[in-house]
Amino acid sequence: MGMDRVDTPPPGMLPPGMGGGAPPGMGAPAGGGSVSFAEPPGESKLLELERTLAAKDAVMEPEVLATLRDYVKSGGKAEAAIELLSENYRGYAQMTGLVCKWLEITEPEGEKAPTGGGHARAGSGGLSAAVSPQAGRGSGAATPTFGRPAADTQDDDTPQGGGTMPRTGSAAFFSNNAGERADTPVGQIRDKTAAALRDWRAKVRKDEMWLLERLIKRKFDTRRVDAVKGRPSWMQRLLVSDRGRAVLFSLAEAHPNCLLITVAIQHAWQHGHADEVRALGPAAASYFSIFHELLAEHFTALIAAGDDEDRRAGAVDVIKRACTQSLATYLFAQMMLADLARGGDAGLAGGGSGGSSKAVRALATRTSQELETAAAAAHGSSTVRKIAPLLADSDADAEATAAGGDLLLTTEEERRRRGAEGGGTGVVPPLPRGILRKLHALYLEDGKPPAEPSIAPPPGMGPPPGMTPAPVKLEKPGAAPLRQPELLRFLFDEAFRCNVGASTTASKETRAQCLDLIVKAVSDGDDEAADARAALENATRALESAARGQAPEPESFRGMCAYPPAAAGVIAWVSSAMGDPEHYRQVHAGASNQVYFGMLASAGASQPRLRERVLDAVGAALAAMGKGSSEALHLGALDVAVEMVECGLVLPVIEAATERWARHVDPSHLRYFAGEVLEVAGPPFGGRFVSAVLRLLRAANARKGMNRATDEFVAQVRRQREGGRLHPTLAREDNTFLDYLAK
């Protein structure tokens, strides 16, 4: 049948495996086995190597020589490899280098060598240290290493570079000729070489890496970076590169949860680059695996500062910046400080030697208070005060802390509502009596026995016949909750409120309650409490007499102000009285004003830590007086500020006069104040002081010839400037105004 006929193709036309023979060039396996389709040995590797050599700019890859060797060993032809490399060369790197050179040539002259070039190795002391001919020399170093460890000899003029290494052979030159005098030929060559090296290193090199860094910073995407799984080959090169780590670290603050940045920070910490991590500052606080080690170092530095106030302030500033990034870091730091305040070592593993001493406990308490203030500014006072009870030592302390926080929040809200300035100056509303009464009861009211049960207990379960349960004494909170600086300030403001007008009259009950709480806060033991109460009551009597125009005996008043709580009470009273516009309408105001000024100056002179409170009181008085008050009143208040300058509070006083007081006083009074300050100060003048005084003189509309002290100051500053003896140098606008004052 025709339908059953099958045409058979000629031999060799059937595909292998379907009845046909093997294709040409491939014989059938011996023994009649199946045909193998595997590529000849080495064929797949050869193809892969050819694809690598055919990539764009493959000839520029660091591993190109190894790839060529593998290609030839695998049977590839050298001619084919050369053809692949040459045909696919595009020169992207060379074109980029050419563009970078154009950018350098066309860059404005003023931008070619800015300070802080940005390529110095982190932790090497910054640019000035890195470019110094002595940089990198240890006590026994034979040659300088210019801002990097001697063992680190990696050339930084590469995509993996960080700081730039010297190319002039100057390292050996300085080593061999460091003792040559500057006036010898060798010394002159040395100095010229050093100057050229400093200029070269200070320049921001807009090379390919610089452009790549800018591109990364602009287009960095945390989600895409963290989507990379495993450990790509480029990661290790990135992590061992100074500049690569620097780019990642510059992104740390903006991307605190990026996994790649976390890995980079941990890698740097574990591989000898701890200085780079420390240089991150607050950004490192997001990585708790290293945060606690950094914090331990910060606390060790704080304890080691001892009585050095500058070192202590620097250590506290570092702690505040590191620990206010989040509430978690804040709580952790506060727990460590609480342990130090109780006499523990806060887990410093011996780093806090002397941690049980009274001085260290006081230092920890003070630092805790400053940290709380910084956290309140960063996260809001309401949030910080709500979590404060979590840090209390006992349930009673927690309850007192919560009550104190409620009192602060309610009072601050009322002050904001009334539009009064904070800080306890001027007319401020009284403390909420209900919350104050509750806080007072926690400290000074005895516990009461529990109420009788409404249901009689079963037979045999009650107390024995003839016995009644003893009253339960409630646990009393400690003084720590009352020692919160803002709470203490509010208590002083209320206890020493001057009854000027009916709207601001303090009740006797409220004043007594505040005085009781202040005594609890500032004393330790019954004997100290009695002395504290006596001193505060003496201060109150002296202030009441001053309100009637009776000045205290100077010697006894100075002795009274030697006790800090009494001095704080004096400042609070004067601020309350003279910060109230109603005061200047009273008949007795004329007699009391000069007495108040003298008491305020004496309190500030006796207590250095209360001098800024004195400035607040002066500002409140000037604001309440207004420009319409008499010249004697304005000058009397400004004289108090001059006395604070004599005591050493210089820049804060000048800045307060320029920024806060200028709108309340006549410019002629500001010129008087500036002249008095310059009579106190003497040459040579520092740059910061000069800049502050020039801003004050600008606000006072000063001109040449208006004040002798001002004219002498201008002449002296110009001489220092011309001789290069004014550091730091002045800004352009300050220089312009200085020259204007000389005309």
* Burial tier of 457 (Cβ tally within 10 Å: 0-12, 13-18, 19+): exposed
The span from the CA of 119 to the CA of 207, in Å, is: 12
- Percent of the chain at pLDDT > 70 equals 73
Segment among 145-149, 254-258, 441-445, 565-569 with least mean pLDDT: 145-149
- The closest of 195, 178, 175 to 186, measured between CA atoms, is 178
Average pLDDT, integer, range 44-63:
87
Looking at residue 692, its pLDDT comes to 95
Measuring CA to CA, how many Å separate 156 from each of 193, 268, 276? 20, 18, 17
Query: Could you tell me if residue 705 is left (phi over 0), alpha (psi between -120 and 50 degrees) or otherwise beta?
Result: left
| Look-up of token digits 């302030």 | 313
Q: What is the pLDDT of residue 130?
A: 30
Query: 49-53, 70-74, 253-257, 324-328 — which is least confidently predicted?
Result: 253-257
Whether residue 24 has a cis bond before it, omega within 30° of 0: no
Residue 735 or 244, more confident:
735
6-10, 187-191, 332-336, 572-576: least confident range: 6-10
CA separation for the pair 173, 238 (Å, rounded): 33
- 3-state class of 16 per DSSP? strand
Confidence of residue 2 (pLDDT cuts 50, 70, 90): very low
Q: What is the pLDDT of residue 222?
A: 84
Mean pLDDT for the stretch of residues 56-76: 88
Burial class (CB in 10 A: 0-12, 13-18, 19+), 89: middle
Q: 512-521: per-residue pLDDT in tens?
A: 999 999 999 9
3-state secondary structure 284-302: HHHCHHHHHHHHHHHHHHH
**pLDDT of 3 over the 80 cut:** no
User: 273-303, pLDDT tens digit by residue?
Assistant: 777 777 776 666 666 767 777 888 888 888 8
Q: How far is CA 213 from CA 99, 216, 245, 251, 692, in A?
A: 16, 5, 11, 11, 38
Is 178 within 8 Å of 164 (Cβ atoms)? no
Identify whether the C-beta of residue 633 lies closer than 8 Å to the C-beta of residue 625. Answer: yes
Enumerate residues 6+ apart whose C-beta is below 8 A from 588. Answer: 547, 548, 549
Q: Is the dihedral of CA 434, 438, 439, 441 positive or negative?
A: positive
How do residues 113-139 score in pLDDT, each as one tens digit? 443 333 333 333 332 333 233 333 333
Give yes or no for residue 355 having a pLDDT over 50: no
CA distance 210 to 100: 9
Tens of pLDDT, residues 556-607? 999 999 999 999 999 999 999 999 888 888 877 788 999 999 999 999 999 9
If one compares 144 and 3, the residue with the highest pLDDT of the two is 3
Of 38-47, 220-229, 362-371, 529-538, the poorest mean pLDDT is in: 38-47
Q: What is the pLDDT of residue 229?
A: 75
For 76-104, the pLDDT digits (tens) are: 888 888 898 899 888 887 888 888 788 77
**Residues 345-365, mean pLDDT to the nearest whole number:** 68
Q: What is the pLDDT of residues 457-505, one digit of tens each?
A: 566 565 555 555 555 556 889 888 998 888 999 999 999 998 775 445 5
Cα–Cα distance for residue pair 713/674, rounded to 1 Å: 11
pLDDT score of 186: 66
pLDDT band with cut points at 50, 70 and 90 for residue 446: low
Is the confidence at residue 220, as pLDDT, over 70? Answer: yes
Q: What is the pLDDT of residue 171?
A: 39
What is the value of pTM for the model shown? Answer: 0.64
First-to-last C-alpha distance (Å) of the chain:
128
For residues 727 and 721, what is the distance between their CA atoms, to the nearest angstrom?
9
- 20 bridge partner residues: 16
In sequence order, the 6+-apart residues with CB closer than 8 A to the CB of 676 are 638, 639, 642, 709
Residue-level pLDDT at 138: 39
Distances (CA, A) of 394 to 345, 387, 391, 475, 627: 20, 14, 9, 9, 52
Beta-bridge partner residues of 16: 20
CA nearest to 644, candidates 677, 679, 668, 667 = 677
Q: What HEC string does 433-452 produce?
A: HHHHHHHHHHHHCCCCCCCC
The answer to whether residue 531 scores a pLDDT higher than 50 is: yes
Cβ burial 521-557 (10 Å sphere, 16+ → b, else e): bbbeeeeeeeebbebbebbbebbeebbeeebbeeeeb
Residues sharing a CB contact under 8 Å with residue 258, sequence separation 6 or more, in sequence order: 222, 225, 226, 251, 252
| Alpha carbon distance 674, 668 (integer Å) | 10
pLDDT of residue 539: 94
pLDDT band at 347 (very low <50, low <70, confident <90, very high): low
Rounded Cα gap, residues 86 and 53, in angstroms: 10
Q: Phi/psi at 20 (nearest 5 deg)? A: -90, 170
Which pLDDT tens digit goes with each residue over 381-424? Answer: 888 888 889 888 889 989 999 999 999 989 888 888 876 444 44
8 Å CB contact between 376 and 324: no
Per-residue model confidence as pLDDT tens digits over 622-631: 999 988 888 9
C-alpha to C-alpha distance for 81 and 62, rounded to whole angstroms: 16
Query: What is the spatial distance between Cα 552 and Cα 557, in angstroms, rounded to a whole number?
Result: 6
Note the pLDDT of residue 502.
Answer: 47
Residues found in the chain: 743
Sorted by sequence, the CB contacts under 8 Å of residue 144 that are 6+ apart come out as 133, 134, 135, 136, 137, 171, 174, 175
Structure tokens at 613: 């409170």
pLDDT in tens, 156-203: 333 333 333 333 333 333 344 444 555 566 667 777 776 766 665 555
> What would the pLDDT profile of 15-38 be if each residue is shown by its tens digit?
444 444 444 444 444 444 444 444
- At 606-657, the pLDDT tens digits run 999 999 999 999 999 999 998 888 899 999 999 999 999 999 999 999 999 9
Q: Which residue has the higher pLDDT, 399 or 425?
A: 399
| DSSP secondary structure letters along 531-546 | HHHHHHHHHHHHHHHH
Lowest-pLDDT range, 226-230, 307-311, 635-639, 710-714?
Answer: 226-230
Looking at residue 182, its pLDDT comes to: 54
Identify the weakest region by mean pLDDT among 176-180, 345-349, 424-428, 720-724.
Answer: 176-180
Query: Tokens standing for 478?
Result: 């400690």
Average pLDDT of the chain, as a whole number = 77
Q: Please state the φ and ψ torsions of residue 16, each to the nearest 5 degrees.
A: -60, 140
Kindly report the three-state secondary structure assignment for every residue of 573-586: HHHHHHCCHHHHHC
The residue ranking higher by pLDDT, 31 or 315, is: 315
Q: Which amino acid is at 136?
A: G
pLDDT value, residue 119:
38
Cα 187 to Cα 193: distance, rounded to the nearest angstrom: 10
